[in-house]
Amino acid sequence: MTDAKRSLFAELVKDGLDEHEARWLVEEFAPRQNLDALRAAVTRRQAGEPIQYVIGHWPFRSLDLDVDPRVLIPRPESEELVGVALGELTRLDVGAPLIMDLGCGSGAIGLALVSELAQRGTVATLIAVDESSDALDVARQNARKHLVKGVSFVRSSWYENLDESLRGRVDLIVANPPYVGADEFEGLDPVLRHEPRDAIVAKDAEDLVGFEDVALIIEGAPAWLSPRGVLICEHSNVHRDGVLAAARTAGFVRCDDLDDMAGHPRILVARRP
């Protein structure tokens, strides 16, 4: 850090900012000597806006994704999901996989997959689906930013508006749908209110709070998956029994539900027989 940056950093810490965040803000805004922008950013952060939106981008696996209040801030659990998905694709050993990312948001999961596959010499095709056109705009922007090729962006409520020709052809469906109940949301950290509510809150289903979107995704997946296709779906830590039961009802035979790094039930892996 230069002396000028160091003194700005010290000023921000004195003002009560966390040291990591003060460093990120100085690195983001000070190199351009844009002190007005730095002060505006500090004001936004001090008003409670997530640091990711204030900075405007955030790392997700190998990508630096643009993020703003139109999309959920990608979470570390979803980075783990990408790792699980890469393992399943290796096991499937499909030359040029067709992947569908349901509820793509910033594009995090699908774009990270395609870009890491490309680094391994595998050319994948991605259908990135979201019902929010704002989210699709951000996902498109991230695909352009990282020169990710072979992506189609589709506005659809889950499988509703998908091209019928995709039925039975998708090798991998990945999804991180909303899975928090409306009442539960009210009790969570208010910082979550900066993110799009529709990305977090889901209706209840089958007596399970916040389970409707997860249930719809599991129920609909077999019709779109190839005969050996796999669904990998992130879910709430209270939904383990629910996702496994829903997957069996949908006809999946070989199902696992994995814990995240914090030890919470989180990632359903449902394989077609």
Residues within the interface to ligand SAM (CB under 6 A): 72, 74, 78, 103-106, 108-109, 129-132, 135, 157-158, 176-178, 198-199, 213
Least distance between ligand SAM and beta carbon 68 (Å): 13
Least distance between ligand SAM and beta carbon 215 (Å): 12
Least distance between ligand SAM and beta carbon 268 (Å): 15
Nearest to ligand SAM of 30, 162 (CB atom): 162
Amino acid in the structure at residue 99:
I
DSSP 165: G
Reference 221, options 154, 253, 173, 160; nearest CA is 173
Nearest to ligand SAM of 103, 265 (CB atom): 103
Nearest to ligand SAM of 199, 267 (CB atom): 199
Least distance between ligand SAM and beta carbon 178 (Å): 5
Reference 115, options 85, 76, 158; nearest CA is 85
Nearest to ligand SAM of 135, 172 (CB atom): 135
Least distance between ligand SAM and beta carbon 89 (Å): 18
Based on the number of CB atoms within 10 Å of its own CB, is 68 exposed (0-12), middle (13-18) or buried (19 or more)?
middle
Query: Tokens 């977090």 identify what position?
Result: 200
Cα–Cα distance measured from residue 162 to residue 166, given in angstroms and rounded to the nearest whole number: 7
Nearest to ligand SAM of 8, 232 (CB atom): 232
Give the orientation angle of helix 133-145 with respect to helix 108-119, to 10 degrees: 20
